[in-house]
Chain A
Amino acid sequence: MRYIMKKVLSMALTLFVVSICVFFAFSLIPGDPVTRMFGTQATPELIEQYRQKMGLNDPLIVRYFRWFTSFIQGDFGTSYDYKVPVAGMIAEKIPITLTLAIMSFVMMVIISIPIGIYTAKHENGIADHILTVINQIIMAIPPFFSGIIMTFIFGIVFKLFKPGGFVSYTKDFWGFIEYLILPAVAIALPKAAMATKLLRGSVIDEAAKDYTRTAYSRGNTTNGVLYLHVLKNAMIPVITFMGMALADMVAGSIVIEQVFGIPGISRILLTSINNRDYPVVETIIMGIATMVLVINLLVDIIYRIIDPRIEVED
């Protein structure tokens, strides 16, 4: 328990550092929200007037504390671009990105665990060699490239799916899920390849350890040893990886959202950075950081449950 308290405290500290970094980093970027608002019709007077109105002329420190105090009170501000509360705007998009991430995660797990175990069991067999090479190749393909190719093959050649035909979950939930299948595959494939590789290596390592041999010598069957002893230990590094992968899937699918035209969190983030819509950028980044840290914490806790002896470093 003390360990968890310590972790949570250090998490809060990290979040504070993130908030400072994000706020100050974005104030250094050239271009400001007012310039973008008026585009080519801007005049210096008009820009000045609106900067004043939006409080952009106050010193950076003042702006930071104004933002930070309202942020921790749950007020995420109003989008400069859309003039609506950030909270509502993001809440509308979270289900899209989250569904996509969960679908990719599930696919990653169903693909990688059986293949990882199979290739480890049959180390150096033909299937192992073939699958390992396929794995390496999948990892080498940039996800947007596989996305483009998949859209082309399934959307244009076989017409199994309608490119760009995203429907919102509020309108047609199953249509929405169906549209997300290909993007989820595009996200899941490279992660599954990495997880497979990791699991395979980890199972082989564990199987070579003394306790495994001991178990065999006591007359246990291969399957029993594999599932009971080896897997439990072999899963530890894989869980860490999958935790990181989940975080990556929620926040790092920018490119795939772009390829498949999915209006999720990543797209909002990308355009908000381009449009200098700071309240939105800051909220999303803080959200992502919190989520990643929480996932890390959960992974740590799972670690301890699987193997209470583990001294998790720092």
Chain B
Amino acid sequence: MMKKSFERRSLSALLVVLSTLTLTLSGCSSKKAEDSGTVANEQTESASQEDGSQAEDAQAQSSTEDLSKIVVGIPQDIDSMDPHMATSAGSREVLFNVFEGLVKPDSDGNLLPAVASDYTISDDGKVYTFTLRDGVKFHDGSEVTAEDVKYSIERNAGTDGTDPLISAFSNIESVEIADEKTIVMTLKESNTEFLAYMTVAIIPASNTDTEGNPIGTGPYKFVSRSPQENIVLESFDDYWGEKAYIKDVTLKIEANSDSVVMDLEGGSIDMYARVTSNQVSQLSDNFAVYEGTMNLVQALYLNNNVEPFNNELVRQALCYAIDPQTIMDFVSDGKGVEIGSSMFPSFGKYFDASLNDTYNQDIDKAKELLAEAGYPNGFDFTITVPSNYTQHVDTAQVLVEEFKEIGVNATIQEVEWNSWLSDVYTNREFESTVIGVDASTLTAYALLSRFRSDASNNFINFNNADYDAAFDAAVSATDDAEKVEKYKECEKILSESAANVYIQDLPEFVVLNKKFTGYTFYPLYAQDFAKIKPAQ
């Protein structure tokens, strides 16, 4: 009897605990509703202070929307806020908003004057003269001076005896201040493409803490940063050019790329660049997807120094074994642009579409070549892929299946990005790797210089005397038509000698909440937040 009553009492105690828990939970959810209500009020208020018409729109559309603020998801934290030390594409594309060079690219790939209002290049391609634009201000309010420009260029050229941060800058002979508005830069060797490097960020010479307090001249200024959490930017009121539409930009680090769709749908981010085609297919109607290309050369890069890839016939056999379209079908629902050499279509005049047909999938031909090269029964090799790039890992998986058809047995080895950088890229200890190579500047030089036999970044150990000759001729040519012709010759050599198994320029899908519009693609890595505006 006694026992029974105890049972009942302890059961009710349990019920009390459970109901308390439920209460706590529901209490929280009702609090959430209150919260979002107050936030919305504040937002409309701040919007009305800024721009009456915008506030009306915001109110008309929905009371919870704040269009003066956008949260952009980025896959990893910026590697440096110092524009001269930031090397990854993901960092450069974001810093594009904060820093500017003497010139700056537009969305068509033209170089427009920015911090400089004007420039002249001597006929021999050696002397570059820049005139500073009047009234360009740094984010701290000071005006850009010739000293700042000289400092910024020399910091990259390593004129203080250290090694240049940008290897191409070793070509700079001198940077002189002619008068307070004029800078004269002299090169050691003629190079008419050098203007593209003048996109290098101009920073104030007086700033001693470029990492913690980055100051530039771009449409957005740096506000704060929390490691692995976010970076906050704010539009710069004294910007010399067309000012940004959106006042606050928060870059949120999305450590888990698999949760991007959930975070977009849940509303914690408004924009994300480079989602996969599979993610695109899961998005609701609230989002607009902008389609472009990533502007990189995705290929199975072969170490031309190791067996059996030192044999041109073997490399060609691999090229015959694959079909870029099949890869695109699996990796990105058929989207992407086929390429046949180290050049992608957004470089217009340098791109040669005919090279796509140097090799078309032909299993018999591939087997023939293998037999001729002395591998009638195929061979085994390893494809090293950085594990953080899903598209490259997926591509490698399709390649493995395609190589099976010609009796070649490939194994995938996924490595961390850091191991990839040190083993594959720096020490060149690899057989093959799937990666996308991008261009740091808008020049053919940036893509093709790495294949010169003595280039320090020639990680595939490509060695071809004809290539070296053609490349040197292209660089020193001052006539544009001649330059294009020589660069195309370089591309042709890469293609015909099957330096690598060229695949595609990957498609890029940018997702933007339909509250906003105006996303613009650039032919190189840049996310221009200043062009994004409220949809209404």
Contacts and interface: CB of A to CB of B under 8 A. Distances in A.
Contact of A36 (B162, B166, B421): B421
B266 A165 contact: yes
Contacts of A37: 79-80, 85, 87
Given A155-B262, A261-B256, A163 B228 contact: no
Given A223-B6, A261-B259, A83 B266 contact: no
A43 B28 contact: no
Contacts of A155: 262, 266
Interface stretch (A17-25, A113-121, A193-201): A113-121
A276 interface: yes
Interface stretch (B10-18, B51-59, B182-190, B357-365): B10-18
A14 interface: no
* Chain A contact residues: helix, strand, loop or mixed: helix
A156 B422 contact: no
Interface stretch (B29-37, B336-344, B370-378, B510-518): B29-37
B142 interface: no
Contacts of B382: none
B422 A43 contact: no
B266 A163 contact: yes
B456 A39 contact: no
Contacts of B226: 92, 168, 263
Contacts of B166: 41
A164 B266 contact: yes
Interface in A257-279: 258-259, 261, 263, 267-268, 270-271, 274-276
Contacts of A152: 262
**Which of B165, B227, B416 gathers most chain A CB within 10 Å?**
B227
Contacts of A83: 80, 211-212
A178 B28 contact: yes
A163 B79 CA distance: 26
Contacts of B422: 30-32, 35
A46 to B, nearest CB: 5
A110 B253 contact: no
A39 B88 contact: yes
Nearest to B73: A164
B87 A178 contact: no
A118 B259 contact: no
Interface in A239-262: 258-259, 261
A277 B227 CA distance: 13
Contacts of B7: 121-122
Interface in B274-315: none
Interface in B239-274: 252-256, 259, 262-263, 265-269
A145 interface: no
Contacts of B212: 83-84
B418 interface: yes
A99 B165 CA distance: 43
Contact of A45 (B79, B163, B256, B419): B163
B266 A117 contact: no
Contacts of B535: none
B229 interface: yes
Top-9 shortest CB links A-B: A164-B263, A31-B418, A263-B229, A165-B268, A163-B266, A39-B87, A164-B268, A163-B262, A83-B211
11 contacts: A31-B422, A35-B421, A35-B426, A39-B421, A40-B425, A40-B437, A42-B426, A46-B164, A47-B426, A166-B229, A271-B228
